[in-house]
Chain A
């Protein structure tokens, strides 16, 4: 009997939905879970407010240039009567570029041929990147967001090479 209890306890620990990111959870709760996850992985982060939305800000290693990333959770769509959300990873680079046609063409080419995020120039002539991670109704573990962050950073390294600039 004791063995059965131990076994069931082990099963419940393995399949516990602890720290899962769910599509309908409040953004603030998502930021708290992600911030704790980053902390356990040695990544410093801070919660900031931008246009009335709370975001989690992370500054990646210096080799990627003057740049920071923000994370937020938003609703996406309802499919088969179940709500889906997405985590948006937004990369704000310090790279200011002229609004030359050739730069837009290079970004278009990158977005066409690569899957590591979507890049564009914002209203301050700075290059931004975006990556979406779908959050299904059953939720996702935070490690997928860390993976997405690294994937988007790879995209920025690739694009800066195409533009012929240092990140």
Chain B
């Protein structure tokens, strides 16, 4: 009886260990998060590659909309960082950036105005103009103490892309 109980407990804990092995956990360092995302992307047959950005590993993923034209093309970049907590629990975030090759060539202040208006009307990511006058998008996924499936990060990246497709229509005249 006792032996059966021990075996049952061991099997349950093994099950949870395996379940947690693929989860993104707040204690994971950036390298581990990137490797877990990469493994998950491979399973889902999503083409990604690990690259280096300022000595940090990031996961890159190309995106092309179903809409005609190459202008939608963007690269999604995943990385992670720990965030401060007001309790003893650990939290971190997955940061997903959307880099476009779109340079604002006409009226930058009007574009910033339009982006502000977009943030007022929709919530599917944060968009801004970088130092090189390029449109950049961002979305964050909070990782709770119990962890989160890597699929959550990919679902969030899809949502960010949907936001970009809406915003892009408004920015067209200024590109």
B144 touches A140 (CB 8 A): yes
B116 touches A141 (CB 8 A): no
- Interface membership of B86, Cβ < 8 A: yes
Which candidate, B28-36, B63-71, B150-158, is the interface stretch facing chain A?
Answer: B150-158
- Interface membership of B139, Cβ < 8 A: yes
- Interface membership of B166, Cβ < 8 A: no
- Interface membership of B128, Cβ < 8 A: yes
- The one of B12, B129, B130, B144 that contacts A141, using a Cβ cutoff of 8 Å: B144
CA distance A3 to B6 in the complex (A): 12
- Interface membership of B3, Cβ < 8 A: no
- Interface membership of A4, Cβ < 8 A: yes
Which candidate, A29-37, A52-60, A62-70, A115-123, is the interface stretch facing chain B?
Answer: A115-123
- Interface membership of A7, Cβ < 8 A: yes
Count of chain A residues near B, Cβ 8 A: 46
- Interface membership of B18, Cβ < 8 A: no
Q: Mark B111-136, 1 if CB is under 8 A from A, else 0.
A: 01101100110010111111000001
Known: A4-B5, A101-B109, A128-B120. A118 touches B151 (CB 8 A): no
- B100 smallest CB distance to A (angstroms): 14
B83 touches A111 (CB 8 A): no
Of the A-B pairs whose beta carbons lie under 8 Å apart in the complex, a sample of 20, sorted by A's number, is: A3-B5, A4-B1, A77-B155, A79-B151, A79-B154, A79-B155, A80-B151, A104-B116, A112-B128, A115-B140, A119-B119, A120-B119, A121-B116, A122-B120, A128-B120, A134-B148, A134-B152, A136-B152, A143-B145, A147-B91
